[in-house]
A and B are shown apart, each in its own frame.
Chain A
Amino acid sequence: MRLVFDQGTILLVDAESSAALADLPGALWDPRVRALRCPARFHQRLLTELGQRGVRFEDEVAGPADDLPALRPTDLRPYQEAALAAWALADRRGVTVLPTGSGKTRLAIAAITRLRVPALCLVPTRVLLDQWARAMRECAGFAPGLLGDGEHQVEAITVATFESGWRHMRQLGNRFQLLVVDEAHHFGTGLRDEALDMSIAPMRLGLTATPPAGQTAARLTELIGPTVYELRVDDLVGEFLAPFDSVVLHLDLTPAERAEYEGLMATFREVLRRFRAVDPGATWQEFARAAAKTDEGRRALAAWQRSRRLLAFPCAKRQMLANLLARHSDARVIVFTADNATAYAISREHLIMPLTCHIGRKERERALSLFKDGKLRALVSAQVLNEGLDVPDAEVGIVVAGSKGEREHVQRVGRVLRPRPGKRALVYELVVRATGEVQQARRRRNALAA
């Protein structure tokens, strides 16, 4: 019998008796090719199982081997060493949970340089693709292959966006021994899980600051491994992360804004109430889909969107932001908004650099470098700075509004926690009274305290 890699799966070809092997881990009979087939991630378990059963087979799964580049050893902080040791003890399959800014990328690079095996790193965005490549050059002295953002260069150590990894794992799934999954909480929901299922890599390292719970966590354990090491912001504040103060500023809408907000919400709530009466368990997507079918429903959705836009940057937030920027004119400040439109409005009004998905790679790198050198005093962003992007030292964060809940907030706060002797970071949250924002802010603070 032969084990053959077939587009992200393993085929058991020429088996004497497929029926006797049908209980192998992950194996299913594929009537289309009349052979047993497993997802590639079961490769190692298949080898063990077949060995134990005394089945004679040839393993033809491994793909072409690229030469590893020269790797420079990477030094780690004590807690990073501990995380790596915990991962090694768990058979090199597992997720490490470390706060934003604590050096997860460096941890992964150290894993690669110490193991010296072909490795594929999956990262969520194109922005992070550049950042990982740069970190690898700086920390370990090699340039990785890149997959995504118009690049298609596969090397023994390659960095790929989630999307490219998902699309190309069929061809690449048998070329890597180690799979590093940055921001691993994005997996486990079904979306793009195939990327992890179609790789034979027996060693898997997940990185996240915000691990998922429930079914997603269980699925993540199957695909990557269990949580093997976990530290929270509080564990590192002081020595490895800057201490910080969080200030929530409660603001009022103007009478005209309040009247408009209440009017919009009344329009929206009435349609939602009637929909909920018929289908109490429906999701937001189901409601939005049903509402879009009628004029009244579309008016309700439009009203809801306008109410969100209104809360994103009303007069009081505008005024408060101006005050805060004036008060911290000597500090490096990052402003977080709910949407790009607000980021551009703030950028134009206060003459600060926006970092959004529309700002290209070269300009983004240039802006971060100017910010690092103190030539730009502030950055404003909706989502680009939320996750993973290594932002130079900043002392003040101003959350004008959020759109993605608690996980987003934890990541945002992490952006100003890069440590420096004597530094104490400050995070402001602007919250409009008597709106949904109050509850959102409470949930965000709870998540941060957890």
Chain B
Amino acid sequence: MRLLPEAVIPARVDRGRILPAFLDERDQPWLHVLIDEVDRFRGRPLRELQQRLREPLPCATPHFKSRAAVRLLLRLGSAEITSEVSPAAAREKLFVEAAVQTDTPRGSIVAAAASALGLAPAALERALFADLPGERVFVGPESFPPPHELALRVNQLIARSLLFRASRVRIRAQGALRPVVRQAKLRGLICTVEDGDPPVLDLSGPYAVFRRTLLYGRALGELLPFLAWCARFELCATCMFRGQEAELHLQSSDPFFPASAPKPFDSKLEARFARDLKKAAPDWDLVREPEPVRAGGTIIFPDFLLRHRLDPSREFLVEVVGFWTPDYLQRKFSLLRAAKLDNLILCLDQERACADGDLPTGARVVHYRRRIDPTAVLRAAGHAL
């Protein structure tokens, strides 16, 4: 998604806090007019539409909000080159011809080049720059979204454009937090979790400890759609906005466009494990993404909960660890010991381990290579019973 440049983001800073100007129902009249106006320019050069949109609409329009909406509307459509000959070919033929005939009038040169291309001179003139962005013909989408939906989409764009300027984000959220943590880690962010009710995620990039940087803004902004699936969230981002550091606060009640649901499995490996376990052990239920577990001041996000159907007290947590070092495991196990959590089974990828090392004794560990064997997991569980 192409974000809004800083200068046109509808937001202001008041006493160190960024106040985004989100669109609401009061904006719907002018959004309606704007959509109609853009729709009217289907089949015409983009330049004409852009020129029209620089002029005022026949109703009161908030300047920055409307510019954000225009950007979004133009992105929903596309622009096509319509010329009888490739513009690049037209340019080469004509300009090379002009270099040869320096004393010939312009019209004669155009006529000669057009004739060589089998075109009328006017068609050559039309083709000459038909590939420039403004000369392409605007092709809208099949239908534009209704004003209320457009408003939500613009709000999403505003929020992500602001988050792009963030160096650190703190999120207090309830439910479905795991996809957020997972996505943050995939994007190379450091994610620390403070215990609390609800827990607080603190997200930033490694380099952010040295200076305010926009390096991680895109990654932080990309987490927003995943937050929409938390039951409730409050987000506080530290941003560099218009030359100053300011805080952005967002929450689940803000009017955003709902993102598509997170994928049920993060990887094929996990999906396959779920399938295999169902076949191999029909007596066990597998719960995807169980509630996070508190462990010694932090929180663990298991991938699965294994529960015996006849004896629900036999319950195990399973975490798939793709990339690990002995240090990491030592820390993890000492955390589990401190939290007296002895029913967590770690599945370790043998291929991706970056070093060998002794595992702590008594640890419930299953090694896998490309595929997690469900019977090995059950063995690890049974062994401890």
Give the number of residues in A that approach B within 8 Å (Cβ atoms).
44
Contact with B along A181-215 (1 / 0, CB 8 A): 00000000000001001100000000000000000
**Given A7-B207, A32-B209, A366-B92, A292 and B63 touching (CB < 8 A)?**
yes
Cβ-neighbour of A32 out of B7, B91, B128, B204 (below 8 A): B204
Chain A to chain B contacts (Cβ below 8 Å), 25 pairs: A7-B206, A9-B206, A9-B209, A13-B327, A28-B209, A32-B190, A32-B209, A37-B210, A39-B207, A194-B213, A289-B242, A292-B63, A293-B63, A329-B103, A344-B132, A349-B106, A351-B109, A352-B98, A358-B133, A362-B88, A363-B92, A370-B96, A374-B99, A376-B95, A376-B96
Residues of chain B at the chain A interface (Cβ within 8 Å): 7, 63-64, 88, 91-92, 94-99, 102-103, 106, 109-110, 125, 128-129, 131-133, 188, 190, 192, 202, 204-207, 209-210, 213, 215, 242, 327
* B99 and chain A: residue at smallest CB distance: A377
Tell me whether B207 and A198 are in contact (CB under 8 A). Answer: yes
Chain B min CB distance to A172 (Å)? 13
Indicate if A240 sits at the interface (CB-CB under 8 A). no
Tell me whether B242 and A353 are in contact (CB under 8 A). Answer: no
Tell me whether A30 and B209 are in contact (CB under 8 A). Answer: yes
Scoring B96, B102, B109, B206 by chain A CB atoms within 10 A of each residue's CB, the highest score goes to B206
* A191 and chain B: residue at smallest CB distance: B214
* A363 and chain B: residue at smallest CB distance: B88
Tell me whether A8 and B207 are in contact (CB under 8 A). Answer: yes
**Given A289-B242, A375-B99, A33 and B207 touching (CB < 8 A)?**
no
Indicate if A288 sits at the interface (CB-CB under 8 A). yes
Contact with B along A286-299 (1 / 0, CB 8 A): 00110011000010
Chain A min CB distance to B235 (Å)? 18
Scoring A166, A329, A363 by chain B CB atoms within 10 A of each residue's CB, the highest score goes to A363
Contact with B along A261-304 (1 / 0, CB 8 A): 00000000000000000000000010011001100001000000
Chain B min CB distance to A188 (Å)? 14
Main SS at interface, chain B = helix
Contacts of A367 in B (CB 8 A): 92
Cβ-neighbour of B207 out of A9, A293, A366, A374 (below 8 A): A9
Tell me whether A288 and B7 are in contact (CB under 8 A). Answer: yes
Contacts of A377 in B (CB 8 A): 98-99, 102
Contacts of B210 in A (CB 8 A): 9, 28, 37, 39, 197
Measured in the bound complex, the distance between the Cα atoms of B110 and A145 in whole Å is 42
Measured in the bound complex, the distance between the Cα atoms of B105 and A349 in whole Å is 11
* B240 and chain A: residue at smallest CB distance: A190
Tell me whether B99 and A376 are in contact (CB under 8 A). Answer: yes
Indicate if A422 sits at the interface (CB-CB under 8 A). no
Indicate if A72 sits at the interface (CB-CB under 8 A). no
* B202 and chain A: residue at smallest CB distance: A32
Measured in the bound complex, the distance between the Cα atoms of B215 and A288 in whole Å is 26
